[in-house]
Every structure is written in structure tokens, then in C-alpha cells.
Amino acid sequence: MSHCAAKKREEGKVEHILPHEVAFDIDGVLADTFRVFVETARNQYHVQVAYEDITEYDFRKVIDIDMEIARDIIQRILDQPIQMGIMPMEGAVEVLNLLAGEGPILLVTARPGRPAIYEWVVEHLKGIDHDLICVEATGTHEEKIPILVRQGIKYFVEDRLDTCYLLASANVTPIVFEQPWNQKPHPFIRVRSWEDIKKMIAWSRSSASQGNG
């Protein structure tokens, strides 16, 4: 990346991303998963923790939580995302609805199992034809890369910085969805919200008019 391009990205200049070129992570991007982690820890396990305290993706480094409790909550989040009350991030459903108007949407998670999160996705994207929703669960962060490359994805919205470096090395441009755990300096494009994502997409005329209407 040239100095100029890097500078432009830091300033968050709008990119013109074609709808079929972009895919999304689920937890921490589409799903407000860590909010539920924190609320469950506080309300059900009496662990004093705030969302902003999670300043590392590997939260065990920064918050004082019994490992058994953490494992228990994570397992519940993996097995029962609907019942745990995980909600989509603000604006996500609207933007994904618009994207589905352009073609299939691809969601790629490192979760180890697909059925529970697929059920969550279709529950919260009720307005979208199931045939247009593709959910891949890879089990590892590394395995996200070949799937994206195979699908011709050029941009991936992700909250885990280590994964962003992997993406960049495979020529998939990471878009960092800002969270307390990805605030370290990095060279990538960043977005604060789905509204920011919406502005980066080169909508076809019909979607754009829906979006602004």
C-alpha cells in the first residue's frame, strides 16, 4: 500500500465496494455477542466487568474472570445464541437487507458449529430469502481465508485484528469493525457502525433508492 493510500484509509475515506465483493464476520460485527457475554457474567455470575474493559480479543488477559465461568458462558453463546438474547448490531439488518437485494450475502464465522448460528442468522434476517444467506462456520480463524479467496471476496468486515493481518496477507482487504478490543494502532480501514459500511458500498440504483427512502 502506498503512503497515500494508507493515509486515505486512516482517514476513513469512502471506498466503492461492489456488493458481491464484501463479506462479514458474525460475532462482534453482525452480532452484538460480547454485550451478552458481559451482561451474563454480571447478572448471572456476579462478575464485575464492563464492555469497555474487554480491551483484548483474548479477554482473559484483561478481565478478572474465573476460567470455568468464562468457558460456561462461551459455551452457552455458541450453543444457544437465540436463547441467550444476542441481538444484531444496530443498522446491520437494514444493510444486509439492502445487500440481499443485490445478490447472495456471505457470513463467515470461526465458530466451530454452524447449525446454532445459522438458526440465529435466519431468525434475525427474517426478511431475506434463505437462499440468499450463506453462512460458513470454519472452526478456526485461519480457515476463513481460503473460503473468502475462493468466493472472490475482496473486503471482509472483521473485529479481530490478528485475523485482519491474515486477510491482508491473502489480498482480502480487512475492514475493522471498531470494538474496545481492536483499538491498537493498525493500518487498516475502520468502521464504527453499519451506517459507515453502508456508505462504502457502491449500491445499484434500485438499492440506493430503497436505502435512502
Q: Which spans of this chain sit near Mg ion (rule: CB under 5 A)?
A: 25, 27-28, 159
Closer to Mg ion by Cβ: residue 26 or 93: 26
CA distance 80 to 113: 11
Residue ranges of the alpha helices (H) in the chain? 3-10, 33-45, 67-79, 92-100, 115-124, 144-150, 161-169, 194-200, 205-212
Q: How far is the CB of 160 from Mg ion (least distance, A)?
A: 5
The CB density around residue 155, as the number of other CB atoms within 10 Å, is: 22
Closer to Mg ion by Cβ: residue 15 or 159: 159
What phi, psi does 129 have (nearest 5°)?
A: -55, 130
Closer to Mg ion by Cβ: residue 76 or 141: 141
3-state helix, strand and coil shares in percent for the chain, rounded to the nearest 5: 45, 15, 40
Using CB atoms, what's the residue nearest to Mg ion?
28
Q: How far is the CB of 112 from Mg ion (least distance, A)?
A: 14
Q: Which three cell numbers stand for residue 165?
A: 493481518
**Following DSSP, what letter does each residue of 48-65 receive, concatenated?**
---GGG--SSSGGGTS--
Q: How far is the CB of 28 from Mg ion (least distance, A)?
A: 4
Residue whose entry in the numeric block shows the C-alpha cell 444467506: 133
Closer to Mg ion by Cβ: residue 26 or 65: 26
Q: How far is the CB of 164 from Mg ion (least distance, A)?
A: 11
Q: How far is the CB of 29 from Mg ion (least distance, A)?
A: 6
Closer to Mg ion by Cβ: residue 27 or 136: 27
The CB density around residue 10, as the number of other CB atoms within 10 Å, is: 14
Q: How far is the CB of 140 from Mg ion (least distance, A)?
A: 13
CA distance 53 to 134: 33
Closer to Mg ion by Cβ: residue 54 or 207: 54
